[in-house]
Amino acid sequence: MGRLSVNLCGIELENPVIPASGTFGYGYEFAELYDINCLGTFSFKGTTIAERIGNPLPRIAETSSGMLNAVGLQNPGVERVISEELPKLARCFHKPVIANVSGFSVEEYAEVCRRLDKQEQVGWLEVNISCPNVHGGGMSFGTDCQAAAAVTRAVKAVTTKPVIMKLSPNVTDIVSIARACEEAGADALSLINTLMGMRIDLNTGKPILANITGGLSGPAIFPVALRMVWQVSSAVKIPVIGIGGVQSAEDVIEMILAGATAVEVGAANLINPYSCRDIIEDLPGVMDRYRIEFLRELTGGAHG
């Protein structure tokens, strides 16, 4: 095991850097730029039972320290992901990948997970109960303990691979949601998803996004994400993946100190497509600067 290696639900990662779902496509798009096998793994685009064209345009808005998106889970549907996207991915990525799953009912979550669980290249299932940009699904399951637990139990009943529940920050008490998922059988948790926000166009006096609201990501949300990773990792015994505003090797180490086992990088990929590669290359030097020998021994180190 190298200095950067971590273990996520029994699967060894060469490093803890994971591009987040929705910011890295299905991987092969970025493989045209660099060898994506340098990544620990990545989470591919959120998948639903049927094809979704997403929300109407415009669905992206910039902010001074991040961005808003209301893409709305655009994807080709699980069967085309299995028949078309995964074979293309297999030609350029030779590690287990995280399958990100969303749904509009408990049954849909379970069915999509059941189908993806059978795919050899899928190492983990990341179940998104936290998307703020769809109506009648996504975040509606992640803001209630009983609903979050119901999705977790249903998915665990039909899968054999580790299940990661992706949590919403748009709640009063994220710890109670995290504990409900853990008690229902989750193998790990990832947090946070985007924070709800909006912008108004002063020329029109109307919201910029057709969806009116969207998910805020980028450096603005890093302190919120760090706080929630700290709280949740203190309250559960399963691994936590930290997400939210990560831009640098220093941010990765800060997330791990707060309690994360691994770290997902989202909006930074949209600003600089080489960001994850650069973070991985920078990590050893930053570790030397702070006299860190092994990242895997650092998890939760700030808790004392």
Domain ranges of the chain: 6-303
Residue 139 is predicted with a pLDDT of: 53
Cα-based torsion angle of the residue sequence 28, 45, 151, 265 in order, rounded to the nearest 10 degrees: 90
The residue whose two tokens read 């969303």 is 102
Cα separation, 83 vs 159, in Å, equals 20
Locus of tokens 């015994």: 237
The domain made up of 6-303 is a member of CATH 3.20.20.70: yes
Please report, in angstroms and rounded to a whole number, the separation of the first and last CA atoms in the chain: 25
Give the Å distances, CA to CA, from 246 to 211, 268, 285: 26, 7, 18
For residue 304, what pLDDT is reported? 78
What angle (nearest 5°) sits at the alpha carbon of residue 222, between those of residues 287 and 202? 145
Residue 158 confidence (pLDDT): 98
Instruction: Return per-residue pLDDT of the chain as tens, 304 residues.
Output: 799 999 999 999 999 999 999 999 999 999 999 999 999 999 999 999 999 999 999 999 999 999 999 999 999 999 999 999 999 999 999 999 999 999 999 999 999 999 999 999 999 999 999 765 454 454 568 889 999 999 999 999 999 999 999 999 999 999 999 999 999 999 999 999 999 999 999 999 999 999 999 999 999 999 999 999 999 999 999 999 999 999 999 999 999 999 999 999 999 999 999 999 999 999 999 999 999 999 999 999 999 7
How many other CB atoms sit within 10 Å of the CB of residue 250? Answer: 15
Confidence (pLDDT) at 132: 54
Q: Report phi then psi at 133, rounded to 5.
A: -110, 15
Active site positions, annotated: 131
Distance, CA of 173 to CA of 19 (rounded, Å): 26
